Structure 1
């Protein structure tokens, strides 16, 4: 509908600044002539739209102009409330409580009661069974970011190598169900990603740092050296009974069901400590077909495990100490 497009264009101009007619036409799948007519309609409605000519031209709305909160629908406000509540599951922050109260004032009492009784979306950033450790780390790091305080910690990479780090924290990133810290590492002298589950002995230092220009995270890409070795082409064959676990771990485009019911996973994957632990967790329900060196490593690990149990009567007390 035209009114929906006009509102969407207004919101887009408020958030993005200057946008060309061609870009708007492509986004809303209409002609540029339609966009020009829409701009005339917005101007007649009292929205201060300015047009600029030239190669860098386009349309923009005068600075400091805002739209009334009534432009938000009940469902849209409820979605914002759900997102704020979800943030509260990740870390303790009284400001979130205040923000939630402010947003909920956009709802009438009856609407607020309805949204509480029939929540359509729930965001919980703490995985099932996870303790308070991750939440504590997130809260400490959030405070350090806000106060520009250095942090120190012991970090373990994918190969189990531990290093002591001092870092300038800039951002916290929730990727899937895992938290990462984007920080300038003074040991490596560059910006890096640190997985919070591998951070131990976290301490917020009294020393402050002068913030420097950090790389944009709008479209950041993972760098393989942050997590371990390069990806290798792997081929894994799983028994049908573990299908649900395979689907939880691997991307759908890597998974194929074979005629005999077994499941093949084929594609690039980092062969690291996590990979070997994952394979061993499947026991006899998985076979590595490629790469051969990964199969040999699993064979060696199983043999070392068997050496701990030389006979059925071996007791735990005989384990090396």
Structure 2
């Protein structure tokens, strides 16, 4: 549509400054004659377009002009830019690229220069370290399925290691911390469920469409402390000084006490589950469970089973 092209041109000129007629024609896939007509239309609508002749010529918007930004301060716009950039790192979608251009267009050249000079004071990056293109492909496929109301099939591995075939009607993508989830109506369970994308395999967007159902509020998925209180008990761990950095990442500072030899003692109430044992074993020889005794015994049993696996290889 012409109105969309005119708006996009205005945003581009505000962000880029001078742009040649040929570049505009190539970008918007129209003729240079159409570009000249569009520039005249923008002029008549009150946007001060200036045409420059010569090799370095082109169109630009006069310096004082900026799109109305209502009551947004420079700091507020900076925060919006940072947030949109962050989303764009995780979602490969032109919509967010265009949105970023539009938000930047709210700034005058003086404002943009000020932001460049002071540097980025806030950066959001929702792309975890080491994440390959497969994770982003899942997000993009699900976004397309949600937009076009297409059913999706996949194999899902739950937290207990059980695999199942699912066909779902995706409703919304959720980014929680550094993990992606999708809220969807599961045809197998006949109810809405939340699926973790890292546990989804062989994702396929189907040709079959669906009628959107009213999804439950996401507030209903808030963490409930009762979920983990059943196995919550006092524990004490002792970590070597070599893993201080990891201990600081994993535990509340109030639970950690430095010992005279540089080691770290961690005392607190923890849930005894598979995650806890996996976490402790990941520290290898750099951790010792001091209490309770049954957790000590379980760690010894698990360590013994690991040794038995390697002893079988020696035979």
Give me the TM-score of the superposition, normalised by structure 2.
0.68
Cα distance in 1, alignment partners of residues 222 and 151 from structure 2: 25
1:115 lines up with 2:115 in the alignment: yes
**Matched residue SS, 2:90:** coil
Q: Structure 1 pair 236/131, CA: closer, same or farther in 2 (3 Å)? A: farther
Gaps of 5+ in 1: 1-67
Match of 2:100 in 1: 100
Alpha-carbon distance in 2 for matches of 1:200, 1:228: 28
Return the offset for 1:228.
10
How far apart are the structure 2 equivalents of 1:308 and 1:70? 67
User: 1:269: which partner in 2?
Assistant: 271
Q: Structure 1 residues 296, 198: closer, same or farther in 2, change over 3 A?
A: farther
Q: Give the Å deviation of 1:103.
A: 0.8
The equivalent residue for 2:249 is 248
Task: Tell me how far 1:218 sits from its aligned partner.
Answer: 4.5
Measure, in 2, the Cα distance between the counterparts of 1:201 and 1:229: 35
Change (3 A) 1:145 1:295: farther
2-side partners of 1:184 and 1:230: how far apart?
29
Map 1:169-188 to 2 at 5 A. 169-188=170-189
Partner of 1:158: 159
Separation of aligned partners in 2, 1:114 and 1:184: 48
Shift in alpha-carbon separation, 1:220–1:268, aligned structure 2, 3 A = same
Distance in 1 separating the partners of 2:185 and 2:292: 35
Larger Rg: 2
Q: 1:194 to 1:207 in 2, by over 3 A?
A: same
Structure 1 SS opposite 2:310: coil
Q: Could you tell me how far apart the structure 1 residues matched to 2:133 and 2:209 are?
A: 27
Structure 2: which 5+ residue stretches go unaligned?
A: 1-67
Q: How does 1:164-313 map to 2 (within 5 A)?
A: 164-218=165-219, 220-222=221-223, 231-233=231-233, 235-241=235-241, 242-252=243-253, 255-257=255-257, 261-269=263-271, 271-272=273-274, 274-289=275-290, 294-310=295-311
Aligned length: 244
Q: Distance in 2 between matches of 1:270 and 1:167?
A: 33
C-alpha distance in 2 between matches for 1:251 and 1:112: 40
Task: Report matched runs for 1:23-62 at 5 Å.
Answer: none
> Equivalents in 2 of 1:296, 1:161: separation in Å?
27
CA shift for structure 1 position 240: 4.5
Write the distance in 2 (CA, Å) between the matches of 1:263 and 1:277. 19
Cα-Cα RMSD: 2.8
Name the CA distance, whole Å, in 2 between partners of 1:292 and 1:142. 49
* 1:263 to 1:200, Cα distance in 2 relative to 1, 3 A: same
CA–CA distance in structure 2, aligned partners of residues 121 and 104 of structure 1: 16
Q: 2:129 matched to which residue of 1?
A: 128
Distance 1:281 1:93, change over 3 A: same
Please say if residues 150 and 169 of structure 1, whose CA atoms lie closer than 8 Å, have aligned partners that are also in contact. yes
Deviation at 1:244, TM superposition (A): 1.9
Instruction: Render the CA deviation track for 1:71-128: whole Å, top value 9, x for unaligned.
Output: 1111111110111111111111111111111111100123223324511111110112
8 A contact 2:238–2:289 mirrored in 1: no
Deviation at 1:290, TM superposition (A): 5.4
The two structures have a TM-score, normalised by structure 1, of 0.67
